[in-house]
């Protein structure tokens, strides 16, 4: 087989140029896709036909047939990988014309157009042709005809189709996944039981697997689709455990409480877990799947997926899109423009509302029409100025439930038209049929409001299609919050609960009266999403992820420290003569924002760090005490500390102590004179990538570090993304840079190597001692903060009971003669004494200490001359009972004690100042 870039063990010459991690490869492929998109668009525009997408589909399927040469592209080049797409139905419809004669019609939607854009991959389709072919001559002829379309048929007999497709798929799985529940045992159509349908389901899946195994070649990727084929990954892995298998669900996946009602629930979950990568439209569906696996099967859920006895199946969200260019180009078609002209004349003077749905229980068509009725009842002005066009495509017309739904919809429409219509106009135009592509595009383009009221929908791409056709009209989208598309288009759409008829009716009024400016803003947001998150992008992303699935999980457990003994801390404070108080800022001294619903939390207010308003008076008293030195040590930048603490008499240490100043002086820095910051651009590139893929995350570019924060993203999805980011950063573009990667509870920070609060406190103390000329040792230390784990060395730095080499940080000593920096003798003597008294430090600790010794402060070219090592007597005379380290809201900590929130910090500092 020609060179498969993912399965070629012979080419070692270029191994050094191959990215070493999955994220690194995905980043590279993302950039390549961006660069090639313009050229691909230019190539497509060469075709003269405006609606050339259909031609492209036909050409792609009829290109160099895989049966003749499995690795040759239609343009004569070579594919580097083969993709076997397995779905219940093939992307073609077959009609028998004779014993050995078939006519085929290519479907222009779905996976075909999605996989058009996947470069370097040849896709082959495996599935049922939708017809029963019992005779061998007919099967041979159909197989030959389909081979020219890159399709391979699976032949299912009528009994299997009835039990598997009409029975288990459509009568059990589909209703359950859409929260409609399971049918009663006596209502399973004409079949006998769940067991007989499930047996047929497994048999059909094995028949699909047999065809895949017959055509599989080493290195192929097998992509299984939808609830029809949940058992297929297990069948494939049982045959060949090395096969790369992905499975994607196009419907919602229900919560574990719903899924657990399904008979044979465990078998289905374990069958899906045999795949290497399991994909869903939204993270909610993926979370439900992981939850079902953990709650029903008792397996371990991780940010990457589900782990079972050391084997982990990656689970991720891949929101699908549409071929937006096809719809945009269609609007230039003369026939479409003629349709648009006719529709505008037909509905002149009236606002057009549009619904396009399958006539299905989950689409909420009755709810939509009833909401429109309520709107007409309450808004007499609009009764003859708005019209609802409802396209209801018939489906499963032989099922009694669907027949009942059709009658119900017709009855409601007739009642409303009779109530609010006239001899010449009616408020609702209802069509029980589908429209061709050109007519549908024209209808989308002239619509003022599209309304989607799905009660439960995997994605609902009608909303995407409407947005793609609305770049001129700027119409409004009313979208059910129960459609998967709500997570992608929610910012620009008006989200509604379709069960709340009053809310939907009010949303119709809001849309009709919306200003042009607001419509423009909403449309711009959604149009950008629809045109960038295309079906092609979706398919490329899934294939890339499937090729590069990597997982790793770690767990840590620690004991929770006791609460801060407030009375004891105050008593020791009053008995001491020279105190040092070190305070963090964020989540320690800041005002908490009340957001009971975190997903709808006030992100803007929380990101704007402000000093707690009740803290000002007590903090002022502490700072004005001549026997108390207050230091605010924060990871925030200098401007934030200046804004919040400029009026206090204290010391400010910004960016983890890399910048320092007294509020009476100017800023200085501990950065080396020749710091290498070349790593910033590569880290910024990675942070931008993850910010784009993680809604409500953001990153901060500081002077000495970068921080990616996902506090406001979905917590589980944020952790998943953070794990991917950490894996990439540790092994990727900064692997040889002098930096540290620090993980917070919901953040990832990259900073210069050797920078921690515990290390910089040496320099801070040296500067404080030098500036104030303190003549007595510090005998009381209070350290309170919400610090990252790496910065918690500041807690252990002051521990009197720890040996001096516990963290490899030198304890500062004071020069009793307060000699200048040019006097090297005391410093040399002090250094030797210190070295004799301490146990030997590790090489890493020595290097860290030496780096800090060489770091001076600077302000506009000016550097501090203070060296924390050039001292000859102890700054600290600290007993264990006089040291109080306290973490705020962090149960995993090196601190002695714990306070729950900044409110507790405020209350404690108030008590402290009142007692003094």
- pLDDT at position 523: 95
Report the Cα 770 to chain-centroid distance in Å.
49
Average pLDDT over residues 567-582: 92
HEC string of 383-426?
Answer: CCCEEEEEEEECCCCCCHHHHHHHHHHHHHHHHHHHHHCCCCCC
Number of separate helices (H) and strands (E) present in the chain:
32, 31
Strands laid side by side in the 628-633 sheet: 668-669, 659-662, 651-654, 628-633, 579-583, 780-785, 883-888, 897-899
- pLDDT at position 187: 54
Query: What's the number of CA atoms in the CB half-sphere (13 Å) around residue 594?
Result: 1
Q: What share of the chain is helix, strand, coil (3-state, %, to 5)?
A: 45, 20, 40
Residue 853 binned pLDDT confidence (cut-offs 50, 70, 90): very low
Task: Return the bridge partners of 247, or none.
Answer: 224, 278
CA 195 to each of CA 163, 187, 192, 675: distance values in angstroms, whole numbers, following the listed order: 10, 14, 8, 69
Residue 62 binned pLDDT confidence (cut-offs 50, 70, 90): low
Global pTM? 0.59
- pLDDT at position 369: 96
- pLDDT at position 575: 92
Give per-residue pLDDT as tens, 350-366.
Answer: 999 999 999 999 999 99
Nearest to 469 by CA among 335, 250, 323, 320: 323
Residue 395 contacts residue 485 (beta carbons within 8 Å): no
Checking if the pLDDT of 453 tops 90, the result is: yes
Helices within 602-746 (DSSP H only) = 603-607, 616-624, 638-645, 679-693, 715-731
> Where does residue 179 fall: left (phi above 0), alpha (psi -120 to 50 degrees), or beta otherwise?
left
- pLDDT at position 619: 92
Average pLDDT over residues 727-748: 78
Checking if the pLDDT of 42 tops 70, the result is: no
Tell me the C-alpha distance between 679 and 704, whole Å: 11
Give per-residue pLDDT as tens, 224-241.
Answer: 999 999 999 999 999 998
Residue 212 contacts residue 222 (beta carbons within 8 Å): yes
Give per-residue pLDDT as tens, 657-687.
Answer: 888 888 888 888 877 666 777 888 888 888 9
Nearest to 131 by CA among 94, 170, 169: 94
Name the burial class of residue 729, with classes exposed (0-12), middle (13-18) and buried (19+) by CB atoms within 10 angstroms of its CB. buried
- pLDDT at position 9: 40
CA dihedral sign, ordered 204, 205, 207, 211: positive
Average pLDDT over residues 806-828: 36
Tell me the C-alpha distance between 653 and 644, whole Å: 13
Checking if the pLDDT of 398 tops 50, the result is: yes
Average pLDDT over residues 866-884: 67
CA 50 to each of CA 58, 328, 338, 342, 802: distance values in angstroms, whole numbers, following the listed order: 15, 10, 15, 20, 77
Which residue did the predictor score with more confidence, 796 or 110?
796
Query: What's the number of CA atoms in the CB half-sphere (13 Å) around residue 802?
Result: 17
Residue 485 binned pLDDT confidence (cut-offs 50, 70, 90): very high
Residue 304 contacts residue 533 (beta carbons within 8 Å): no
Average pLDDT over residues 423-430: 92
Tell me the C-alpha distance between 281 and 911, whole Å: 53
Q: Which of these ranges, 27-41, 426-440, 614-628, has the smallest mean pLDDT?
A: 27-41
Most confident listed range (397-401, 453-457, 611-615): 453-457
């Amino acid at each position: 087989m020609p060179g498969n870039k993912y399965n070629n063990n012979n080419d070692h010459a270029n191994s050094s140029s191959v990215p070493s991690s999955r994220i690194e490869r995905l980043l590279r492929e993302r950039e390549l896709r961006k660069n090639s998109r313009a050229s691909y668009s230019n190539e497509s525009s060469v075709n003269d036909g405006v609606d050339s997408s259909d031609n492209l589909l036909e050409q792609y399927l009829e290109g160099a047939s895989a049966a003749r040469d499995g690795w040759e592209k239609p343009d004569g080049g070579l594919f580097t990988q083969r993709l076997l797409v397995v779905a219940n139905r093939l992307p073609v419809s077959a009609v028998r014309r004779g014993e050995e004669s078939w006519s085929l019609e290519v479907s222009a939607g779905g996976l075909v157009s999605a996989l058009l854009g996947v470069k370097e991959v040849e896709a082959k389709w495996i599935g049922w042709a939708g017809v029963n072919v019992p005779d061998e001559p007919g099967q041979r002829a159909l197989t030959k005809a389909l081979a020219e379309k890159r399709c391979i048929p699976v032949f299912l007999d009528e009994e299997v189709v009835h039990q598997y497709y009409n029975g288990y798929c459509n009568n059990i799985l589909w209703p359950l996944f859409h929260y409609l529940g399971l049918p009663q045992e006596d209502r399973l159509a004409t079949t006998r039981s769940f067991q007989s349908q499930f047996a047929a389901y497994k048999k059909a899946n094995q028949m699909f697997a047999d065809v895949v195994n017959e055509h599989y070649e080493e290195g192929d990727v097998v992509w299984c689709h939808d609830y029809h084929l949940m058992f297929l990954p297990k069948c494939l892995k049982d045959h060949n455990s090395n096969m790369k298998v992905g499975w994607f669900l196009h419907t919602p996946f229900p919560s574990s409480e719903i899924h657990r009602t399904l008979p044979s629930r465990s078998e289905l979950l374990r069958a899906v877990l045999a795949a290497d990568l399991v994909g869903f439209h939204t993270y909610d569906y993926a979370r439900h799947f992981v939850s079902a696996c953990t709650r029903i099967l008792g397996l371990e859920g991780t940010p990457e997926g589900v782990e079972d006895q050391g084997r982990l199946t990656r689970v991720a969200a891949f929101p699908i899109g549409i071929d937006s260019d096809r719809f945009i180009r269609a609007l230039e078609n003369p026939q479409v423009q003629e349709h648009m002209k006719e529709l505008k004349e037909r509905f002149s003077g009236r606002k057009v509302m549009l619904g396009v749905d399958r006539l299905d229980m989950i689409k909420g068509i009755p709810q939509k029409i009833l909401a429109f009725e309520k709107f007409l009842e309450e808004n007499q002005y609009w009764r003859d100025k708005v019209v609802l066009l409802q396209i209801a495509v018939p489906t499963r017309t032989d099922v009694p439930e669907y027949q009942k739904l059709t009658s119900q919809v017709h009855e409601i429409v007739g009642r409303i038209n009779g109530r609010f219509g006239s001899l010449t106009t009616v408020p609702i135009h209802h069509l029980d049929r589908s429209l061709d592509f050109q007519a549908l595009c024209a209808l989308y383009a002239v619509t003022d409001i599209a309304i989607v009221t799905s009660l439960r929908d995997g994605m609902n791409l009608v909303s995407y299609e409407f947005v793609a056709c609305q770049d001129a009209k700027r119409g409004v989208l009313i979208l059910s919050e129960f459609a998967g598309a709500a997570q992608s288009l929610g910012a620009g759409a008006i989200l509604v609960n379709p069960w709340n008829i009053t809310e939907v009716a009010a949303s119709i009024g809001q849309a009709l009266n919306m200003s042009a400016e607001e419509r423009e803003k909403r449309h711009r947001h959604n149009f950008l999403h629809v045109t960038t998150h295309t079906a092609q992008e979706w398919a490329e992303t899934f294939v890339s992820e499937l090729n590069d699935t990597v997982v790793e999980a770690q767990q840590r457990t620690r004991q929770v420290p006791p609460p801060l003994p407030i009375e004891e801390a105050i008593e020791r404070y009053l008995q001491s003569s020279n105190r040092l108080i070190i305070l963090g800022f964020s989540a320690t001294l800041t005002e908490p924002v009340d957001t009971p619903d975190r997903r709808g939390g006030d992100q803007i207010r929380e990101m704007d760090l402000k000093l707690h308003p009740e803290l000002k008076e007590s903090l002022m008293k502490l700072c004005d005490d001549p026997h108390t030195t207050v230091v605010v040590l924060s990871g925030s930048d200098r401007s934030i500390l200046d804004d919040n603490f400029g009026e206090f008499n204290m010391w400010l240490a910004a960016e983890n102590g890399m910048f320092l100043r007294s509020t009476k002086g100017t800023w200085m820095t501990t950065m080396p004179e020749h710091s290498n910051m070349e790593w910033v651009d590569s880290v910024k590139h990675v942070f931008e990538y993850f910010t784009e893929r993680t809604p409500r995350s953001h990153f901060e570019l500081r002077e000495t570090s970068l921080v990616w924060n996902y506090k406001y993203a979905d917590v589980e999805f944020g952790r998943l993304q953070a794990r991917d980011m950490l894996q990439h950063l540790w092994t990727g573009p900064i692997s040889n840079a002098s930096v540290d990667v620090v993980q917070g509870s919901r953040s990832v920070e990259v900073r210069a190597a050797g920078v921690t609060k515990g290390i910089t406190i040496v320099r801070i103390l040296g500067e404080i001692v030098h500036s104030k000329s303190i003549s007595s040792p510090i005998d009381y230390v209070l350290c309170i903060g919400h610090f990252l784990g790496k910065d918690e060395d500041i807690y252990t730095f002051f521990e009197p009971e720890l040996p001096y080499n516990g963290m490899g940080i030198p304890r500062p000593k004071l020069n009793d003669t307060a000699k200048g920096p040019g006097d090297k003798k005391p410093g040399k003597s002090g250094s030797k004494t210190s070295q004799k008294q301490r146990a030997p430090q590790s090489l890493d600790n020595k290097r860290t200490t030496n780096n800090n010794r060489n770091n001076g402060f600077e302000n506009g070219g000016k550097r501090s001359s203070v060296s924390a090592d050039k001292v000859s007597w102890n700054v600290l005379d600290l007993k264990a009972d006089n040291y109080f380290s306290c973490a705020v809201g962090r149960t995993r900590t090196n601190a002695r004690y714990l306070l729950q929130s900044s409110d507790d910090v405020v209350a404690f500092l108030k008590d402290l100042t009142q007692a003094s």
